[in-house]
Amino acid sequence: MILGYARVSTDGQSVDAQVKALRAAGAEKVYRETASGARADRVQLRRVLDQLDKGDVLMVTRLDRLARSTRDLLNTLAAIADKGAGFRSLGDTWADMTTAPGRLMLTVLGGLAEFERELIRARTSEGRERAKAKRREDGAQAEAHRAPEARGDPPWFWK
């Protein structure tokens, strides 16, 4: 079964164009939602994911209708794959888990996202270590950045 998911961010927008495109592409049932993609509690997305069975395909018009970040996208795609279902984006033909090239592309993107997370984690850790070392070496610098009251100076509005 092909299930569609159509989402808009605000009440002033309409899902009609998405629903029409999904139906034209073969979606038998379309779940509609008005919610920000950044929200984790999207009821209709959760509902369509719960409905997926082995061999089903979840279809969207564009990837940004499903997820707002790479991390969110990969987590959602993993949940779909765990159910034995496929995924297809009408506007992003490379993101088609029902084909071998599509699965390859999504696997590569997943690997790149994981690599990026590791780089960010390493840079953040290095930055923290440098900041700690600098505070130990330069006590006067750290003292200058403290609030005037903490240094024993009167606040600016007393002057």
Tokens of 158: 């007393």
Map out the domains of the chain with their CATH numbers: 2-98 (3.40.50.1390)
At 100-136, the pLDDT tens digits run 888 888 788 777 777 887 888 888 888 888 888 777 6
> Catalytic one among 9, 36, 69, 89?
9
The token pair at 23 is 């139906």
- Give the residue among 53, 30, 32 at the shortest CA–CA distance from 43: 32
pLDDT digits (tens, 9 = 90+) for 147-159: 666 666 666 666 5
Is this prediction's pTM over 0.75?
Answer: no
Instruction: Identify whether 9 is a catalytic site residue.
Output: yes
